[in-house]
Chains A and B, each alone.
Chain A
Amino acid sequence: MVPEGYYLILSAVLFAIGVTGVLIRRNPVVIFMSIELMLNAVNLSFIAFASQLNSLDGQVFVFFVMAVAAAEVAVGLAIIVSIFRARTSVDVDEMNLMKW
């Protein structure tokens, strides 16, 4: 069996990739996708821990994470659609009204 530690490292790597994605991309949908990547990395680490500690609680947690992620994606994409419906280009940097 693969030691659980490796899974945790993989999870960390995926998480870091997701964070970098959020910072780099300008397309809002892609940013969202990076966030999903981050969520999944965390899911992986939960399950790894659950396996290591021999309890199902970690997996239940992941279940709930998935449910919430689904809800979040639905609402988030609805927001993105409503914001960018009327625009020509899709660029997060255009949403610059949260300033002085």
Chain B
Amino acid sequence: MVTLNLVLWGILAALAVGSGLAVILIRNPIYCALSLVVNFFLLAVMYLLLRAEFLAAIQVIVYAGAIMVLFIFVIMLLNLGGEETRDKLRVLRPLAFLLGLVLLVEVVAALRYRAYTVENPPLSFPLVSAPPAVTGGVREFGRLLFTDYLLPFEITSVLLLIAIVGAVALGRKEPS
């Protein structure tokens, strides 16, 4: 049944795919970065549709807000232009597209034809979802984070510390 919901979602998905393609096909890296930002926003919208409100917010703040800014800073720092010189491995380009296609087909086939649970195959296309039992709100999310997933949470903070140290160490100029 083609509802308005579906159509709107379809437009959203098409835009997401389009911006993804833009990322990999546009020459100028700044434009690629900007396309990626668009993609992230679109994904955040989808998260909202999937009742992951907290994550939608995080996506915008962290991914689109911090990570992509970092990307753009680096592009500016290195004064990257487009790719000018001839690609030595040009012959592999068609193969790359082919492989991407193959990957897509394989993954879809895996999703469609492999049963993961007897009752709920992944691509079962239920028309009506179950009533919303849980929401992706901050309160529920936080409770889960600080109870069941406490250890990964703490370790992640250590990981971030390591990343900071590493980035600083790599970033500084050699003492002359």
Direct contact of A and B (CB under 8 A): yes
Which residues of A are in contact with B by a Cβ distance under 8 Å? 1-10, 12-21, 23-27, 29-30, 32-34, 36-37, 40, 43-44, 47-57, 59-60, 62-64, 66-75, 77-82, 84-85, 89-91, 93
With A4-B122, A74-B166, A77-B70 already in contact, 11 other A-B pairs whose C-beta atoms are closer than 8 Å = A9-B108, A10-B13, A17-B20, A23-B96, A37-B39, A40-B40, A52-B122, A63-B145, A70-B163, A89-B84, A93-B88
On whether the beta carbons of A44 and B55 are closer than 8 Å, the reply is: no
On whether the beta carbons of B125 and A51 are closer than 8 Å, the reply is: no
Most buried by B among A10, A15, A43, A56: A56
Interface residues on chain B, size class: 35 or more
Which residues of B sit under 8 angstroms from A2, Cβ to Cβ?
Answer: 5-6, 9, 49
Which residues of B sit under 8 angstroms from A6, Cβ to Cβ?
Answer: 9, 13, 125
Interface: B176 (CB within 8 A): no
On whether the beta carbons of B128 and A36 are closer than 8 Å, the reply is: no
- In chain B, positions 48-75 with a C-beta closer than 8 Å to chain A are 49-52, 54-55, 58-59, 62-63, 66-67, 70-71, 74-75
CA distance A6 to B17 in the complex (A): 13
Tell me the dominant secondary structure on chain A's binding face.
helix
Tell me the dominant secondary structure on chain B's binding face.
helix
On whether the beta carbons of A5 and B122 are closer than 8 Å, the reply is: yes
Interface: B130 (CB within 8 A): yes
CA distance A34 to B35 in the complex (A): 11
CA distance A29 to B6 in the complex (A): 35
> Can you show 24 pairs from A to B with CB atoms below 8 A apart?
A1-B5, A2-B6, A3-B126, A5-B123, A8-B111, A16-B107, A20-B100, A25-B83, A29-B74, A30-B23, A30-B24, A48-B50, A51-B129, A56-B140, A59-B54, A60-B144, A64-B156, A68-B156, A73-B67, A74-B70, A74-B166, A78-B166, A78-B167, A91-B83
Most buried by B among A16, A48, A49, A89: A16
Residue of B nearest to A55 (CB): B134
Which residues of A sit under 8 angstroms from B33, Cβ to Cβ?
Answer: 33
Which residues of A sit under 8 angstroms from B124, Cβ to Cβ?
Answer: 3, 5
Shortest beta-carbon distance from B60 to chain A in Å = 11
On whether the beta carbons of A29 and B145 are closer than 8 Å, the reply is: no
